[in-house]
Amino acid sequence: MLGILGGMGPMATVDFMRKLVEATPAGRDQDHPGALVLQASDIPDRTRAILDGGPDPLPAMLAGLRRLEAAGATRIAIPCNTAHHWHGALQARTALPILHIVDAVAGKLLDRGYRGGPIGVLATTGTLQAGIYTGRLARHGFTCVAPVDQAAVMRAIRLVKAGGVAEAGATLRDQARGLIAAGCRQVVLACTEIPLALPASDEAFGVALLDATQALAEACVAGTPARLAA
Amino acid sequence: MLGILGGMGPMATVDFMRKLVEATPAGRDQDHPGALVLQASDIPDRTRAILDGGPDPLPAMLAGLRRLEAAGATRIAIPCNTAHHWHGALQARTALPILHIVDAVAGKLLDRGYRGGPIGVLATTGTLQAGIYTGRLARHGFTCVAPVDQAAVMRAIRLVKAGGVAEAGATLRDQARGLIAAGCRQVVLACTEIPLALPASDEAFGVALLDATQALAEACVAGTPARLAA
């Protein structure tokens, strides 16, 4: 059973669950694989921990992982990009496989026919500073490009967490446009709050936006060894 | 920590989680209370069990409850109206309090100023036959009125589970109109699939629709003894 270490933030986890259900081919309840979701909203701010030496989120993430293990999860997904800074530390402490959101994104870029080149990354400042996307995308020849006004992106992400979706959407749209103007053929929505304000389906962008939440959901479904795989 | 015995169906559980997050006053992730959600989609069809002697869903519901207990849940909500037929049987087998969705609906009817009278109930045939709403609403002087074409409502509910939201919405709207024409001042959306196709905010109905999913979410938030209660 898939265990979802969520709550970072809570609405982003709801968005991930919706995408997971939608990505599952099903005609009735019983066609869906089970899942167990922890809204572990007590996990300290990931970006503050990376940038400012804020409280370490690892102990709370580990406690959440233990709850999911206790309840019978057999593999783990984490619908928070910045939390993947601790992916290695968590993986070292559990026998359960933990999917990596950047691997899901890389798979999707390859599926779309890209073989290297500049990729825009709309993410928290924590995700960018920690290089969560840089290394894993570089393996496939992709180079990560940060937006011109990263501070504005970070403000928009905090605004989404506080419910200010419309204002955040305008900012994110501007920064995504800037990345495309700078030569990026794909812009990854690399923070799970971002598609709440700027959906990848935004028609102004055609297929230039790649939703990391959606990529992770599809990777979870693809990895389901259920009767539905047939 | 709130444990949610969900998956009946999976998208209805996502809808419940969204309403739970939205009902929580919060400006950042850490303001939300934690929650643990089981998408226990292997639970047999509740209506078939009530009407046709189909497989008993109680063992699978109980297994789900045990998972939530193991993971540290301290109270339980079940975002499926028909599943409440087994509320008493589940409550007898756990020390954790299990909220009752009909109590949440009754509270909401009283909040809206109703003191008895006919209430329309759009629900599964299982919910109606088992009298899940009848007894608990009667305590407050409300009488339950079933729609003219209950078979159409049941078909619409199954259609929502299979993704046929638009077609289901038209049917449900017709039946809701019929209940209002028959003198019901409120129509309860008493199956968690229904608001996916006919949201309580549907402007054709003003405030005549009462969303049981929303009522349960608000009851969960009201019952949260968190720092936010202040």
Contact yes or no for B17 and A8 at CB 8 A: no
Closest CA to A69 of B71, B37, B5: B71
Residue B163 is predicted with a pLDDT of 84
Distances (CA, A) of A54 to A43, A51, B32: 12, 8, 19
Is 90 exceeded by the pLDDT of residue B26?
no
Minimal Cα–Cα distance from B29 to chain A, Å? 5
Contact yes or no for B39 and A32 at CB 8 A: yes
Residue A224 is predicted with a pLDDT of 61
The reply to whether domains B2-99+216-229 and B101-213 share a CATH topology is: yes
Give the tokens for residue B13: 């559980």
- Cα nearest neighbour of A22 on chain B: B11
Q: How far apart are CA A15 and CA B2, in angstroms?
A: 19
CB pairs under 8 A between A and B: 131
Closest CA to B188 of B106, B115, B129: B106
In chain B, domain spans: 2-99+216-229, 101-213
Within A8-140, residue ranges assigned H as helices are 10-22, 46-52, 58-70, 87-91, 101-111, 125-129, 134-138
- State whether CATH 3.40.50.1860 applies to domain B2-99+216-229: yes
Catalytic residue list of B: 80, 191
Is 70 exceeded by the pLDDT of residue B224?
no
Which residues, in sequence order, are CB contacts of A229 under 8 Å at separation 6+?
A: none
Instruction: Categorize the per-residue pLDDT at B229 as very low, low, confident or very high, splitting at 50, 70 and 90.
Output: very low
Residue B226 is predicted with a pLDDT of 41
Contact yes or no for A40 and B34 at CB 8 A: yes
Contact yes or no for B27 and A161 at CB 8 A: yes
The answer to whether residue A28 neighbours chain B at the CB level (below 8 Å) is yes
DSSP letter for each residue of A13-43: HHHHHHHHHHTS--SSGGGSPPEEEEE-TTS
Instruction: Categorize the per-residue pLDDT at B95 as very low, low, confident or very high, splitting at 50, 70 and 90.
Output: very high
| Tens digits of residue pLDDT in A68-113 | 999 999 999 999 999 999 999 999 999 999 999 999 999 999 999 9
Please give the average per-residue pLDDT across B173-194, as a whole number: 97
Pick among B2, B5, B29, B76 to test the A interface (most A CBs inside 10 A): B29
Contact yes or no for A72 and B70 at CB 8 A: yes
Pick among A1, A8, A24, A29 to test the B interface (most B CBs inside 10 A): A29
Instruction: Categorize the per-residue pLDDT at A163 as very low, low, confident or very high, splitting at 50, 70 and 90.
Output: confident
Residue A32 is predicted with a pLDDT of 87
Please give the average per-residue pLDDT across A41-65, as a whole number: 95
Is 70 exceeded by the pLDDT of residue A1?
yes
The answer to whether residue B166 neighbours chain A at the CB level (below 8 Å) is no
* Torsion from C-alpha of A218, A222, A224, A230, nearest 10 degrees: 130
Contact yes or no for A30 and B44 at CB 8 A: yes
Which residues, in sequence order, are CB contacts of A201 under 8 Å at separation 6+?
A: none
- Cα nearest neighbour of A8 on chain B: B29
Q: Is A191 an annotated catalytic residue?
A: yes
Is 90 exceeded by the pLDDT of residue B37?
yes
What average pLDDT does the structure give for chain B?
A: 94
Please give the average per-residue pLDDT across B108-118, as a whole number: 95
Residue B97 is predicted with a pLDDT of 97
CATH number of A2-100+216-229: 3.40.50.1860
Instruction: Categorize the per-residue pLDDT at B44 as very low, low, confident or very high, splitting at 50, 70 and 90.
Output: very high
Distances (CA, A) of A125 to A81, A85, A87: 11, 12, 17
Instruction: Categorize the per-residue pLDDT at B29 as very low, low, confident or very high, splitting at 50, 70 and 90.
Output: confident
Please give the average per-residue pLDDT across A143-155, as a whole number: 97
Q: Is A80 an annotated catalytic residue?
A: yes
Q: For residue B11, which residues of chain A lie inside 8 Å, CB to CB?
A: 18, 21-22
Q: For residue A224, which residues of chain B lie inside 8 Å, CB to CB?
A: none
Minimal Cα–Cα distance from A169 to chain B, Å? 17
Contact yes or no for B29 and A37 at CB 8 A: no
| Tens digits of residue pLDDT in B14-24 | 999 999 999 99
CATH number of B101-213: 3.40.50.1860
* Sheet (strand B186-189) strand order: B142-145, B117-122, B186-189, B209-211
Is 60 exceeded by the pLDDT of residue A229?
no
Contact yes or no for B36 and A33 at CB 8 A: no
Which residues, in sequence order, are CB contacts of B96 under 8 Å at separation 6+?
A: B3, B65, B68, B69, B73, B74, B75, B76
Which of A95-99, B15-19, B68-72, B225-229 is least confident? B225-229
The answer to whether residue A68 neighbours chain B at the CB level (below 8 Å) is yes
Minimal Cα–Cα distance from B143 to chain A, Å? 31
- CA A68, A44, B73: angle at the middle one, nearest 5? 35
- Cα nearest neighbour of B8 on chain A: A29
% residues pLDDT > 90 (chain B): 90
| A101-212 topology per CATH | Rossmann fold (3.40.50)
